[in-house]
A and B are shown apart, each in its own frame.
Chain A
Amino acid sequence: MADNAIRVGLLGATAHLRAIAERLSALFPVERIDVDASSTTKHAGSALSALADRSDVIVSAIEGDRLAREVLTAQVARTSSCVIVDVSAIAPQTLVGIAAAARLSVYGAALGRRPTGETIATVLYIDPSAMTLAPVASVARALADDIVCVPGIKAKALGIVEGLLAGVNGAIVSEAVMLAETAGIHRSDIVRLIHKGSGATAMMDMQERLLAEPSAADALDHASSLRDGLSSALNAAQALEHPLLFASVAIATLRMPVRHVRGGSESIIHEPQPFERASPR
């Protein structure tokens, strides 16, 4: 239900905010400020300050632990009851540090995706204490199709693991489908058959659905989200000195330029999408 009394601020990287803005702007007055790795600490702080003055709830989706820490702990005046729901893919321990240092209340959350029949639902893992605040609860319900209440650091951990699973599964599905195609099985056949088999994954079904009716924007978003999920997991794991061997290989395979031959013409794709990897010669 629309609640025009709740003012929502969006803060973060352009790519991550696009889907969030689409969902929220239909229901709330939304002001959006993009910050990315090129932003300086000073600019990030002033961006947060300006947004906090005019918002009841800020949803932040910032790329990278360092920038998230810089932006969310910036020196802003505690002028209002504005709270931050942070859905950035950052490590749980980074959230703990941010929550302790931030002038505004920061609640940990993470966005996930859940296949439901023919559609893909958005899931919000969010700290239950945040949901006791009426404005946050309204924004959360608008942001996701399903809400899972878990403590903030667990929400971050679940977001990291989900991104990691999607990334590694997406990478191997891409390799497997291209291998099958090269060996003589049509993509739609291998997807249909594997769906019945023990190798079935949600990513194979999702990628097939996304690319069956190719929308360049969807494909780019999907490829980008796979790489982001892996990057975030690698960052979180590094902080814990927990090596992620498969994620390291998977992200490399997703970034690998490939030779692409179609209709007799050959080209090199430097940002391949899933299923374009290792295209048949």
Chain B
Amino acid sequence: MIEMFKPGETTASLEVLVIGAGPAGIAAACIADESGAITGIVDENPGIGGQIWRGTSQNAPSSQAAQKRSQDLSKSKAQLLLGARVIAQPDAGILIAETAEQTYTLECKRLILATGAREGFLPFPGWTLPGVFGAGGLQALVKSGLSVRGKRIVVAGSGPLLLAVAAYLKKSGAQVLQIAEQTPLKKLRAFTNRLVRHPAKAWQALQLKLSLWGVPYRAGIWPVRAGGSEKLEWVELTDGKETERVECDYLACGFNLAPNTELAQLLGCELENGCVRVDEFQETTQPGVYCAGEPVGIGGLETALIEGEIAGAACLGHRDYARTLFSKRAKARRFAALLETTFALRDELRELARPDTFVCRCEDVTYERMAGHGSWRSAKLQTRCGMGPCQGRVCGPAAEFLFGWKVDSVRPPIFPARVESLTVAGVRE
């Protein structure tokens, strides 16, 4: 693996450009490189692995699989650009990416979007207190050097991520008080019964459960309030009937995942049910643009790896090879569908926000100010919700869930960018 840019260079020309160096992106880049294509891979994080394979700041890989794949990538001739966000597309086949110091122009013939997913947040009283983190959020911070030794932590929200996070926090020396999963016990039981059909998953689940021995995993429980004076001191959890207060130092709370579809939307790719629409070869409705993993539909690690490989092969015309992976993909996607129905958010979560609870954190817009509006656009114009630097990434999914609004279209820059980076497009005349 080589660095995409030498000092002084700002333009790169690639046959295959992969955006996102998580599992899907790594799989796509490896296979594209194996086919002999000049391949580049870009990620906004300081290291490869995305979220699920996020390495620690001490460069410890997150798992054996992650280690193997990242070794494959290092051995390849793929060119790597880290700490870079794609912000605009001045012309077909050309992307502008920005790091803290530089602005780069990336030209490519084929593009593979492996932009992953982000955590889903729901507002409830006290959710903005320091000490309330996302579940994946707290894990990412620990991996980046935050010590949680001896900290009392409640893990709450929804999804299998909660178990992985709790296990990791426990391993890191935290006192994990409990895991509160909003999904009802009945649905969780049905899910574990179905796991028999997916033995690898069952084994993973069992390993997690064993490492969490001593940590209560409670179903049908969700947070209703977080409190403390300048930072978090306690959380109130409920089962819909009774509420208990739990004193803690941190709350790691996330409600499933939301796909990062912004780049796909910027490029004009069509979405379906909030996810990027692709054909059997992972090609989007924009010719030459492929998409794999979470943005196509939240599907987890297996799906990402397989779809990344299909995209990497198919974009170079190796369709027969791609076809050999279809049935593996179907199986992985079936598991993903099972996850989606199991961990669907319950209606009570819509009632958590009080009138004075902030829904938009960037602009401090409360629930009651937003609720009066009939559409996301109207709420945005009148209250400025969604107009802050997060560009609606945190409050948009929450607003969709709370009010049923459709969050509107995407414009450049798809991430706050230096004014200078937006002037680059004019240079190429």
Q: Are A and B interaction partners?
A: no
